[in-house]
Chain A
Amino acid sequence: MWWRSPSFILDNRQQQQPYDTARGDALSIPLSSPLPPSTTMADPNPNPNPNPLTDKISAYYQTRAAHHGVVSSDWLAQAQAAVGHLPEGDDDANTTDQGASSGKPFSVIDEFNNWRKQPDLAEAVAAIRALAAVIRNSQATTMMELEIELKKASDSLKSWDTTSISLTAGCDLFMRYVTRTSALEYEDFNSAKTRLIERAEKFGEISYKARKIIAMLSQDFIFDGCTILVHGFSRVVLEVLKTAAQSKKLFRVFCTEGRPDRTGLRLSNELAKLDVPVKLLIDSAVAYSMDEVDMVFVGADGVVESGGIINMMGTYQIALVAHSMNKPVYVAAESYKFARLYPLDQKDMGPALRPIEFGVPIPSKVEVETSARDYTPPQYLTLLFTDLGVLTPSVVSDELIQLYL
């Protein structure tokens, strides 16, 4: 909703003036104070291979696995530390950003990588912050120049990891804001530039807010005594379930294991902390337990133009099973995951591969399907919970048309 019109942006700004300034301070102070970069974040997240072209490992899914994947006790401790000290993460990124800008030539990709190391930061937000850093470091003196520079940066970002839909969507969204919005007219270049940067800073907060909105919207659909099947780990879904638990709803959750990075384990862990009854299923037990399930809740890596979703492997088959048993399938996704893509079938997307551990050596003759994601067509989805409201799949395209055309 926030990008629907520039006037909305202005209204929002007026409303949130106090909050914004406070936040701006929080962001600007660490910028000016160079802290020693904390390594707690970087350690459990080995840098994904920044060159996906040589071996087709999807950086996006690597990061996901690193963020939400296998749960170990020390990892949990670290994660908690990271979640508890978000500003610290900001410090870390910001300082490296500064270092990058002052020392070696600025690279948007490094910048982006710095941002996305934070587990709580959505990829689109990281992309937009990286682009904001481009603006900050830009030597351009005209809007046009800046636009061209940004375009280049976003193109290089997009081509760096073609598998990440929200990265592409985030770049597109920000580019659109820069090129199309009328909020920037009638201003001199410098104030326009600062406004763009402000905007990018605010984006993270918006993405956080979007989760809250989605959680609120979905509360009407969770009723007492229901059983919810979730697949994989999604921050939005977690937020939804957390809000439901906090509002004293009685429900239980079936978590799939989420092989190969076992993100389901992480989710069940989080839910157990909230005292929500959780049952873990292996991925192949979905159909077996579907009759007990009242609804399926999944997140999405990307929502495509047809209204279908691209999500971690296994979503499609869950949706198929649920559809055949007439169970509703709900998708929770922020609107910045809407992408102008239109896959016709499963293979109609760029491959996003990911190494899979089987625990035993696999003979070289055996081929392994390493794709990390699948496409769920819109006819198997019931509703999408987004920060734009509760949408049927067909509305996604309408929103996209209004946004991009």
Chain B
Amino acid sequence: MDARRGSLPVPRVRQVGFFTPNAPPAPTRSQSGPPNSSSPPLPESPASNSLSPVMIPPPRHHSDNLAAAPRPTSPLPVPEPSPFRRRGAHAGADNNAPLVGSYNPTETLLAMSPPATRSPSDSHAGDGESEVAMSGGWFRRSNSAKLASSLPSGTFDFSSVQSTAEALKPTKVQNRVGVSEASGRPAPKEQQPEAPSSSKQPKPKLTKAERRALQESQRAAKAATKASGGGKSVAASEEVTTVKSVKQHQTQKKDAPHVAVSVAASERKGGDKSQEKERRKDAPAPRMQFDDKSRVDKAKRRSVVDQTEARNRVELFRHLPQYEHGTQLADLESKFLQLDPMHPAIYKVGLQYLAGDISGGNARCIAMLQAFQQVIQDYSTPPEKTLQRDLTAKISSYVSFFTQCRPLSMSMGNAIRFLKNRIAKLPLSLSESESKSSICSDIDRFINEKIVLADRVIVQHASSKVKDGDVLLVYGSSCVVEMILLHSHELGKQFRVIVVDSRPKLEGKALLRRLVVKGVHCTYTHINAVSYVMHEVTKVFLGASSVLSNGTVYSRVGTACVAMVAHAFRVPVIICCEAYKFHERVQLDSICSNELGDPDAIGKVPGRMDVNYLDDVSNSVNLQLLNLMYDATPADYVSMIVTDYGMIPPTSVPVIVREYRRDHLLI
């Protein structure tokens, strides 16, 4: 919304035209095309179809899905512009049905309007459209394929129709403007200045089925054109992308004063929220791409935690959230009293996440579940609401708060899924107190069976692999690995431990201390020396944050390095991981999904004045600090995964996921 407004002074049309000089009227058109077609997941589509229609057909571009799927962190995703957009489409379809024929109506409409009328309002329209397109994060990406491909064929298409279209166009547009203003739709104020876009509203009277059919046909047409015009100007469009992102950035800045407007918009959106949450429950939300500015801004406006973004982010990892650390905590504490909907337990745990007081997959998960337990105990269903729905919505909002504090781990995602599933499956006949106690006991059972008992089983299995005379290498600090070592030590096995550690967290030191106190023979070294110590190692025990279904182990950064060195030395690598951390996702690298830590942590060495070379250059544009938190170890380097279901090869992870996923949810 505000994105559009902000953009008004910027002559957007010219810019885009610059990149596609061969298609004179195309810029606006091509701009408006993609968002239109990819915006079918309408906020007002009834809640009953909780899976948005866009999710069902095979996406033409991955970015479509990004746009459509609900996001945990941005409560106001794309659909915002879509009401107008869609109505516009229908208006176009209705009015121009004969002339548009096979092609996407809005596209034609918009494409034609500039040459037809050249009225200021129209240029605004184009402008607005393009801006909307930009504000949807997917657009920048879809651009590269879609814009490029739809351009040429679209033009031909268009030229064939143009003669008739031109005859009809001007009057139509004006007509519609008049109608929209006359109809006095109770639209938010910010709509008014954009007459043309709102002018396409007055035909919202299509039935759902019709709309669906229309969208389908549009989509098909799009796909066809895309196929025909395929990849001619991909390179060019890539340029478009980058330049545009810069521009977008500017416009975002201009947006700042319009926050009030956005608040209004968000209020208007209130109704959609619950539906979105419904959807969110079903479809695993894709992570927010933090390189997409508008979305981040939107999320930020809503967010409770005031995060300052780090300045120099590493190019490859721009899609991950990165914030300046240390500033938010005080700010959040000061806000405590203003945040009425947040339960104090949630707030506390969130702050602990933020401050890093709770870390480690199991600890975080247990803390979260226990906070939820308290919430549920204090919960009372508001009048005229059902516990199932309202509580799920509440938990979703808490989850998004947690996500703002620190990105969720996959194990937490699984636990949340379990919890929501339990809530949704509650029989309606139960009274409120009964349901509450049932959920609480479910949570207890989850913690007990999936974490505590699972750990115990893992320890049993893994310590059977520890033999006398072994030299075990561990990396970082994993609680289950620590339990294994201590248990084996209690069994009287004679073994030696090499604790490998790495900057900046130096988590291994705490582990080392606990082991040494218990009387375990330990060696401590940093990861730099891992290739040196590896030749004497007989087994490597590693923890994991998550194990993905291709066997990839997602764990503390450095794990992959240790595993690879071990593999090269033919030392068996044993991963210890509870089965609730298994995830059906497949990931091939550690770039697409990761977490960025505080960049200062690697830039500065506390207490060492002599090595603080970066002090004065830390704000330089040329310096980008990358502090990754996780990495992905390919399955090839893993000899065995010890889980609560026994010792399995990494190739069997999908079996566990498939056979026991239902158990995870149902217990």
Binding site for B on A (CB under 8 A): 305-307, 340, 342, 344-345, 347-348, 378, 394, 397-398, 401-402, 404-405
Contacts of A405 in B (CB 8 A): 645-646, 659
Smallest distance from the beta carbon of A114 to chain B beta carbons, Å?
A: 33
1/0 contact string of B459-487 vs chain A (CB within 8 Å): 00000010100000000000000000000
Please name 19 pairs of A and B residues whose Cβ atoms are closer than 8 Å in the assembled complex, sorted by A.
Answer: A306-B640, A340-B646, A342-B640, A342-B649, A344-B539, A344-B574, A344-B639, A344-B640, A347-B467, A348-B465, A394-B651, A397-B652, A397-B655, A398-B655, A401-B645, A401-B648, A401-B652, A402-B655, A405-B645
Task: Point out the residue from A347, A394, A404 that lies within 8 Å of B652, measured CB to CB.
Answer: A394
With the chains together, A397 CA to B649 CA distance in Å?
7
Considering the complex, which residues of chain B in the window 633-667 have a beta carbon less than 8 Å from any beta carbon of chain A? 639-640, 645-649, 651-652, 655-656, 659
With the chains together, A315 CA to B546 CA distance in Å?
36
B572 at the interface (CB under 8 A from A): yes
Binding site for A on B (CB under 8 A): 465, 467, 539, 572, 574, 639-640, 645-649, 651-652, 655-656, 659
Contacts of B640 in A (CB 8 A): 306, 342, 344
Say yes or no: A378 contacts B649, CB within 8 Å: yes
With the chains together, A398 CA to B549 CA distance in Å?
13
8 more A-B contacts (CB under 8 A) besides A344-B574, A401-B645, A402-B659?
A: A307-B649, A307-B651, A340-B646, A344-B465, A394-B651, A397-B648, A398-B652, A401-B652
Contacts of A345 in B (CB 8 A): 572
Say yes or no: B572 contacts A342, CB within 8 Å: no
Contacts of B574 in A (CB 8 A): 344
With the chains together, A347 CA to B469 CA distance in Å?
13
Smallest distance from the beta carbon of B666 to chain A beta carbons, Å?
A: 16
Smallest distance from the beta carbon of B573 to chain A beta carbons, Å?
A: 9
With the chains together, A306 CA to B655 CA distance in Å?
14
Contacts of B572 in A (CB 8 A): 344-345
Contacts of B639 in A (CB 8 A): 306, 344
Contacts of B656 in A (CB 8 A): 401
Query: CB-nearest residue of chain B relative to A345?
Result: B572
Task: Point out the residue from A307, A342, A347, A394 that lies within 8 Å of B647, measured CB to CB.
Answer: A342
With the chains together, A340 CA to B461 CA distance in Å?
12
Query: CB-nearest residue of chain A relative to B574?
Result: A344
With the chains together, A402 CA to B645 CA distance in Å?
11
Q: Is the interface of B mostly helix, strand, loop or mixed?
A: mixed
With the chains together, A348 CA to B651 CA distance in Å?
21
Most buried by A among B640, B645, B651: B651
With the chains together, A347 CA to B468 CA distance in Å?
12
Smallest distance from the beta carbon of A395 to chain B beta carbons, Å?
A: 8
Contacts of B655 in A (CB 8 A): 397-398, 401-402
With the chains together, A378 CA to B650 CA distance in Å?
12
Smallest distance from the beta carbon of A186 to chain B beta carbons, Å?
A: 25
Smallest distance from the beta carbon of A320 to chain B beta carbons, Å?
A: 13
Contacts of A401 in B (CB 8 A): 645-646, 648, 652, 655-656, 659
Query: CB-nearest residue of chain B relative to A397?
Result: B652
Contacts of B652 in A (CB 8 A): 394, 397-398, 401
With the chains together, A403 CA to B645 CA distance in Å?
12
Contacts of B648 in A (CB 8 A): 305, 342, 397, 401
Smallest distance from the beta carbon of A36 to chain B beta carbons, Å?
A: 48
Contacts of A402 in B (CB 8 A): 655, 659
Query: CB-nearest residue of chain A relative to B465?
Result: A344
Query: CB-nearest residue of chain A relative to B652?
Result: A397
Most buried by B among A340, A378, A398: A398
Most buried by B among A342, A404, A405: A342
Say yes or no: B645 contacts A306, CB within 8 Å: no
With the chains together, A402 CA to B572 CA distance in Å?
25
Contacts of A340 in B (CB 8 A): 646
Query: CB-nearest residue of chain B relative to A405?
Result: B645
Query: CB-nearest residue of chain B relative to A392?
Result: B651
Contacts of B645 in A (CB 8 A): 401, 405
Query: CB-nearest residue of chain A relative to B573?
Result: A344
Smallest distance from the beta carbon of B181 to chain A beta carbons, Å?
A: 66
Most buried by A among B639, B640, B655: B655
Smallest distance from the beta carbon of B390 to chain A beta carbons, Å?
A: 38
Contacts of B649 in A (CB 8 A): 305-307, 342, 378, 394, 397
With the chains together, A268 CA to B574 CA distance in Å?
42
Smallest distance from the beta carbon of B580 to chain A beta carbons, Å?
A: 15
Query: CB-nearest residue of chain B relative to A308?
Result: B649
Smallest distance from the beta carbon of A319 to chain B beta carbons, Å?
A: 15
Query: CB-nearest residue of chain A relative to B539?
Result: A344
Smallest distance from the beta carbon of A208 to chain B beta carbons, Å?
A: 30
Across the A-B interface, the 9 shortest Cβ-Cβ residue pairs: A394-B651, A397-B652, A344-B572, A342-B647, A398-B655, A306-B649, A397-B649, A401-B655, A397-B648
Smallest distance from the beta carbon of A331 to chain B beta carbons, Å?
A: 16
With the chains together, A348 CA to B572 CA distance in Å?
11
With the chains together, A344 CA to B464 CA distance in Å?
12
With the chains together, A272 CA to B492 CA distance in Å?
55
Smallest distance from the beta carbon of B538 to chain A beta carbons, Å?
A: 9
Contacts of A394 in B (CB 8 A): 649, 651-652
With the chains together, A237 CA to B467 CA distance in Å?
35
Most buried by A among B465, B640, B645, B648: B648
With the chains together, A340 CA to B645 CA distance in Å?
11
With the chains together, A307 CA to B655 CA distance in Å?
14
Smallest distance from the beta carbon of A304 to chain B beta carbons, Å?
A: 10
With the chains together, A90 CA to B167 CA distance in Å?
99
Most buried by A among B539, B572, B652: B652
Smallest distance from the beta carbon of A69 to chain B beta carbons, Å?
A: 32
With the chains together, A306 CA to B465 CA distance in Å?
15
With the chains together, A26 CA to B640 CA distance in Å?
47
Contacts of A348 in B (CB 8 A): 465, 467
Contacts of A404 in B (CB 8 A): 646
With the chains together, A345 CA to B640 CA distance in Å?
11
Contacts of A305 in B (CB 8 A): 646-649
Smallest distance from the beta carbon of A156 to chain B beta carbons, Å?
A: 21
Contacts of B647 in A (CB 8 A): 305, 342
Smallest distance from the beta carbon of B368 to chain A beta carbons, Å?
A: 28
Contacts of A397 in B (CB 8 A): 648-649, 651-652, 655
Smallest distance from the beta carbon of B582 to chain A beta carbons, Å?
A: 13
With the chains together, A340 CA to B652 CA distance in Å?
14
With the chains together, A345 CA to B573 CA distance in Å?
11
With the chains together, A342 CA to B572 CA distance in Å?
12
Smallest distance from the beta carbon of B541 to chain A beta carbons, Å?
A: 11
Smallest distance from the beta carbon of A261 to chain B beta carbons, Å?
A: 29
Smallest distance from the beta carbon of B600 to chain A beta carbons, Å?
A: 41
Smallest distance from the beta carbon of A80 to chain B beta carbons, Å?
A: 43
Contacts of A398 in B (CB 8 A): 652, 655
With the chains together, A221 CA to B483 CA distance in Å?
48
With the chains together, A354 CA to B640 CA distance in Å?
30
Query: CB-nearest residue of chain A relative to B650?
Result: A394
Smallest distance from the beta carbon of B542 to chain A beta carbons, Å?
A: 14
Query: CB-nearest residue of chain A relative to B648?
Result: A397
Query: CB-nearest residue of chain A relative to B461?
Result: A342
